[in-house]
Amino acid sequence: MEDQIIEEIVKKAFEKARDEHAIHTPFALANHIEGRSNLSAKTLLRLHEKYIQKNGSIRKPYASSIDQLCKYLGFADYGDFRREHREGRSLEREIGIRTYDRGSKGGRLKKYVPYLLALVIGSILLVTFNSAGDKGGKAGCMAWADTQYMKVSCDEGPYSPWGTEIIPLDPVKLKNFKKVQVDMTTEFFSEQTGMPLIWYVKTREGIEYFTAPGLHPITGKTLNDISEHIIQKYVPIHDLDPDSFLGTN
């Protein structure tokens, strides 16, 4: 496979993801493509680093990975993409990416269409939020901010400054639902009832722990009750704080 063609495929895939997803960080776009292909987000991030950021590994990707990207773009495989490319057909038309003729007056005007649409949609959302009465305002919504929910204004729009979705305020979740670090000194179960006090979910980066049950605030995965097996297998004996080291008697 030719590097120039692979680079074009990778760029087209991430361009398509940008059109389909509201958050445009490499991580968010990679996760978006992962949900619509058989590729992992980790593989997609490596492709992004190599062909878009130009600082990735010198190793060529597997042919199967490029075939999967071609399928995401609407082609049967890499060979189908190459045939379309050689025949000079519009790849943008095949995969639904809008193109503009920047050499003409009409083309120059067309490139402003997305901004005008965004302005109109923003105005509609603003009117909607303002007409919501008591549902709006700073006390009416919240959003996930790295390790906990924070109160935000419903008027800010669909996404918060942290890039997370703004949702209706849930006072119980706002107070009790937090992402925490754990070690063997953590109280995992209630002394009175024996019920779990920590819930967890496995991710590609490891295991994340939370102080209440429910759904992961980013991925939507259901959190699991902590268990002795998980504690013994994954929980470190201590954290990096010198005061957290367990003493020996």
Q: What integer pLDDT is reported at residue 209 of this predicted model? A: 96
Rg (CA), the chain: 24
Contact (CB, 8 A) for 78 and 1? yes
- Name the H helices within 131-189: 171-176
User: For residue 5, what are the contacts with CB-CB under 8 A and spacing of at least 6?
Assistant: 78, 81, 82, 85
Sign for the CA dihedral angle at 94, 97, 103, 109 comes to positive
Q: What integer pLDDT is reported at residue 125 of this predicted model? A: 62
Integer Cα distance of 47 and 59 in angstroms: 10
Q: What integer pLDDT is reported at residue 112 of this predicted model? A: 60
Tens-level pLDDT at each residue, the chain (249 residues):
578 889 999 999 999 999 998 888 888 899 899 999 989 888 898 888 888 888 766 678 888 889 999 999 999 998 888 888 776 554 444 444 444 344 444 554 555 666 677 777 766 665 554 554 444 444 589 999 989 999 998 887 788 888 888 999 999 999 999 999 999 889 999 988 899 999 999 988 889 999 999 999 988 899 999 999 999 988 887 555 555 444 544
